[in-house]
Amino acid sequence: MTHERTDFIAGMEPSAPDAPVRVDAMSEAPSAVRDVTPLGRPSVELQSVSAAYGQRLALDDVSLAVRPGSLLAVIGPNGAGKSTLLKLVAGLIKPVSGRISVLGDRPLGHAHEVAYLPQAEAVDWDFPVTVSEVVTMGRYGRLGLGRQPGPGDREIAARALATVGMADAEGVQIGALSGGQRRRVFLARALAAEPLIYLLDEPVTGVDARTQEDLMDVLEAEARAGKTVIASTHDLICAAQRFHEAAFLNRRLVAHGPANLVLDRQLLADTYGGHVLVLPDDGGRLILDDAHHHDDAPRGERHYHDDRR
């Protein structure tokens, strides 16, 4: 199988357009959206938001509005600010400039209506907790300080575990699970929180195809029920096929529109620089976000994020 690297852009200065491409008409609007914010206002809104770690700018002037019922994939190369965007909305870090509104309030203003799923690498898997203990943690935000979970909370946790197909694993220590099972359990924890907004940092990274389909089914159902789902991903095929919208991020917002924009070569080039592989396939093209590309870069290739350091 031959594969054609989009090297035609590798030699060019990857030009992020000044104004992000905005495609507002969604290709398929989710049906029967239960609108939970008044008058169809965005549930999550960023206005000219910039964020930095020390001297390093992680996000540059990003404006983005996400409505209830959205199933939004945040895509972009490593270091593009995907995790930063999610942490900003979750209120875990503060922007250096700009405004962020979550459910019409500041981030953390309605913290118990928000479920945040950290990246798998951020979790200590040797920690002595069982699957059911992890899922029950989803209830803690709503319980308040010093109150212990009751039968109702355990019931909700058990139901969430069943939804992700892990009901049998209740008493298992999380470290004993496979990567896919761990993601299932953490999604169950998010479900148990019964949030209006899901902020998921790579929920389907490193999981098998079956798990990915199952988890996306669950997220799609939540979006259909009017929840806002924002997930970062490296899986462009998944973004194109299973999400409704996509936000293209490379420190700046390159574009935000229907998920099938992921198939747009020029947008990908603008977002990833030389970091995308396009594999010609029988039915069409297969596009891969070449996440580890710069670890073993061929000579002469440009690295978009290197240029900005």
Site residues for other proteins per CB under 8 A: 87, 90-92, 108, 111-112, 114-118, 122-124, 127-131, 133-134, 137-138, 140-141, 143, 145-146, 148-149, 166, 168-169, 172-173, 176-177, 181, 189, 193, 199
**Residue 140 C-beta: closest distance to other proteins, Å:** 5
**Distance (Å, whole) CA 183 – CA 149:** 23
**Residue 171 C-beta: closest distance to other proteins, Å:** 8
**Distance (Å, whole) CA 88 – CA 262:** 24
Cβ closer to other proteins: 113 or 235?
A: 113
Cβ closer to other proteins: 173 or 260?
A: 173
**Residue 234 C-beta: closest distance to other proteins, Å:** 19
**Residue 177 C-beta: closest distance to other proteins, Å:** 6
User: Closest Cα partner for 87 from 225, 222, 232, 253?
Assistant: 232
Cβ closer to other proteins: 100 or 114?
A: 114
**Residue 131 C-beta: closest distance to other proteins, Å:** 8
Cβ closer to other proteins: 11 or 109?
A: 109
Cβ closer to other proteins: 140 or 288?
A: 140
Task: Tell how strand 245-250 and strand 71-75 pair up.
Answer: parallel
